[in-house]
Homo-oligomer: A and B are copies of this chain.
Amino acid sequence: MDSKQFREAAVASIEHIVKYYDTIEERGVASTVEPGYLRKLLPAEAPQEGEAWADIQKDIEAKILPGITHWQSPNFTAWFPSSSSYPAMLGEMYSTAFTGAAFNWICSPAVTELETIVLDWLAKAFGLPTCFLSTGPTNGGGVIHGTASEAIATVLVAARDKYLREATAHLAGDEEAREDAMALRRGRLVALGSAGSHSATKKGAQIAGVRYRSVPVHAADGYKMTGASLRRTIVELRAKGLEPFFLTATLGTTDTCAVDDMDSIADVLAELGRASSPGFGEKTDGAGDIWVHVDAAYAGVSLVCPEYQHLARGLSRFHSFNTNLHKWLLVNFDCSLLYVRDRAPLVDALSVTLPILRNSHTDSGLVTDYRDWQIPFGRRFRSLKVWFVVRTYGIEGLRAHIRRHVGFAETFAGLLRGRPDLFEIVAGPRFALTVFKLKGSEGATLEQQNELTKKMYETILAEGKIFLSSTVVGGLYAVRHNPATPFVEEHHVRKHFGIFVEAAEKVLPK
């Protein structure tokens, strides 16, 4: 394909994509293919000779689109959104054109430098504490990871190694003895999440080769983790000779968008995390601290609105923070921002360059080697799409985007409240999420109630007019409604409500 053929093919593809977006509502929102559908449509072996673009492009509509679930449809309310925008798509086009492995600064200085700049822009726009700025007082800063799960695994590894280095500081100079001591100690380490936190922390612990334990949450606390519950868990684990070294606190849990009680968590850790960690003595320099990562994968971007920024106030007491622009802030997947208060533990854990060989540029902060802030070596030029989105919308435009969806969730919750004969809200509206169930009828057991709500959920899924997900919180089966896609309007949300009413009336006993 030469540049002339590419120009034609690209223009045809853009026409196709524009038409796809302009008519996305007409497509069934979730794919209805059967497992294995595509193997029946494609040859068993790659073609020997090249094919023309026109033939390839035809197959997109014929063979690929039936297997696509339309995340940008206004009828998509499942999980969390994965929002798209046109300027982000332009960013991906240019990023692909400037392709390179970009594993260090000279690979393309713009890749490193634009990333630092736009992450500082957003840290300021989110009202994050200055410790998360690249120019802040604690040598911290931000980096773009692919996903929140990658970000969490990465800081978990950094926290593990920081803790082990501090626990074996007395062996410095005898590296073989220290390696042995670290290996033994590693076996006692425990990473913590809450029962509401995303399983990414459990997976991160599996990757890092440490234990994982969950801190209980309770309906009475709105499913948020509290300092009191955390304290009990830490004390119990220490009594068994185990050493909690890492905690994920969540700002907007997956199930219900609960916000953990950051202040009481910080208070408990100030008391239990440091001086009283076994084997660390009375140090007050952060040695033996439990590293707290705040996972704000979905809800974090709401901080772009001043009315949410009180949620960021306590973050300066913690070590790291992530939020996904690819969920709710109009940057196409993937784009998870990770901020750390101090970059040194990341580099210490992930650099394969001996300290003696690190160059002066790196250590002076002039040049950031982002490969040492992440698991992969190579990197894409992801900051370009962020730059395009932020400039195209402006901070005010991004605020309007968030507020629109929050307004829709309030409208939806109001509609639910107007039919107390049919629905009960389990949690929310929080951010753009409302979690609800069918009204339990007089004398029905929990199992019977759950069965009815599940039946409503399955009825709606089978109809295929909207796509949604369900959850179980505190033993209650509930459905989640999260209308945060780019093209959704109030009339869609009212239509969704109508679909719920119809299904509820079908399912509930007359």
Contact = CB atoms under 8 A, between A and B. Distances in A.
A17 interface: yes
A208 to B, nearest CB: 6
Interface string A43-57: 011111111010110
A42 interface: yes
A305 to B, nearest CB: 13
Q: Which of A51, A384, A391, A395 has most chain B Cβ within 10 Å?
A: A391
A89 B96 contact: yes
Given A1-B85, A3-B86, A79 B93 contact: no
A33 B105 CA distance: 11
A206 to B, nearest CB: 6
Contacts of A200: 377
- Main SS of the interface on chain A? helix
Contacts of A50: 391-394, 396-397
Given A109-B33, A184-B187, A377-B200, A90 B9 contact: yes
A285 to B, nearest CB: 24
A303 interface: no
A137 interface: no
Contacts of A160: 209
Interface stretch (A62-70, A406-414, A450-458): A62-70
Interface residues of A, number: 137
A237 B393 CA distance: 59
A51 B96 contact: no
B149 A378 contact: yes
Interface in A139-186: 146-150, 153, 157, 160-161, 179-180, 183-184, 186
Given A93-B17, A113-B36, A68 B98 contact: yes
A380 interface: yes
A177 to B, nearest CB: 13
A124 interface: yes
B125 A46 contact: yes
Contacts of A18: 3, 6-7
Interface in A425-468: none
B38 A109 contact: yes
A35 B87 contact: no
B187 A211 contact: no
Instruction: Give the oligomeric copy count.
Output: 2
Nearest to A76: B100
A90 B10 contact: yes
Contacts of A2: 86
A390 B114 contact: no
A63 B392 CA distance: 17
A86 B31 contact: no
Nearest to A207: B157
A470 interface: no
Nearest to A157: B207
Contacts of A49: 394, 396-397
B92 A96 contact: yes
B36 A366 contact: yes
Contacts of A352: 199, 202-203, 206
Q: Which of A1, A31, A72, A111 has most chain B Cβ within 10 Å?
A: A1
Given A31-B106, A208-B207, A384 B64 contact: yes
B209 A53 contact: no
A39 interface: yes
Interface string A71-91: 110000001101111111110
Interface in A19-44: 20-22, 30-31, 33, 35-39, 42, 44
Nearest to A185: B187
A375 interface: yes
A14 B92 CA distance: 12
Nearest to A66: B110
A22 to B, nearest CB: 5
Given A10-B93, A65-B110, A88-B96, 7 more contacts: A1-B86, A7-B15, A13-B90, A17-B93, A46-B122, A96-B332, A186-B187
Which 5 pairs show the lowest CB-CB distances between chains A and B? Answer: A183-B187, A67-B110, A6-B86, A71-B100, A38-B113
